[in-house]
Structure 1
Amino acid sequence: MIIFVHDVPRWIQVAEELRKRISDGTYAPGTRVPSVIQLGAEFGIAQATGQKVLRALRAEGLIYTIPGLGSFVSED
């Protein structure tokens, strides 16, 4: 669990945590990342915030989403 800094939006902090997990291999290429609901449970964020996190990581090319299956770490 991360401790949130009040002057930085939560979605940015959660996205950074997921980037670290991808970078250090916690989430290896091809593995599923937490869903919006799972992000909410782990980090105490709203579903809209979780969607923003996943949307940002998708825009960076770090993850891809398969409708109905979830989001996965992109291959290098």
Structure 2
Amino acid sequence: MEFDPSRPKWKQVAAIVRQRMDDGTYPPGTQIPSVLKLQEEFGIAVATSQKVHRGLRAEGLIYTEPGMGSFVSRDLPMQRDEGSGGL
């Protein structure tokens, strides 16, 4: 994947994950890719993948179950600003 150098990579990846939530690829209650899976899929650093997860959690879009993974929130916020990125 080619990233836009004018925007942080984590925000670009978070936007892709948000889009997948919107289009039903990741419906509410389903598990999203782990930090390591995002790293592999997008060719980003682990720290960048962790920022993606933190940002989506801060927006209320995902929650984490210790030892289980991260899941799409069942009650997604009504309006999301794709550019906000949470952090």
TM-score, normalised relative to structure 2: 0.83
Which residue of structure 2 lines up, in the alignment, with residue 3 of structure 1?
2
Counterpart CA distance in 1 for 2:21 and 2:53 is 13
Counting aligned pairs with the same residue, the percent is 63
Q: CA RMSD in A?
A: 0.8
Q: CA deviation at 1:3?
A: 2.7
Stretches of 4+ aligned residues off by more than 6 angstroms = none
Q: Which residue of 1 aligns with 2:29?
A: 30
Matched length? 75
Identify unmatched segments of 5+ residues in structure 2. Answer: 76-87
* Corresponding residue number in structure 1 for 2:84: none
- Which residue does 1:61 correspond to in 2? 60
Question: What amino acid does structure 1 have at the position aligned with 2:28?
Answer: P
Greater fraction helix: 1
Three-state SS of the structure 2 residue aligned to 1:72 is strand
> What residue ranges of structure 1 are gaps of 5+ in the alignment?
none
The residue identity in structure 1 corresponding to 2:64 is T
Report the equivalent of 1:52.
Answer: 51
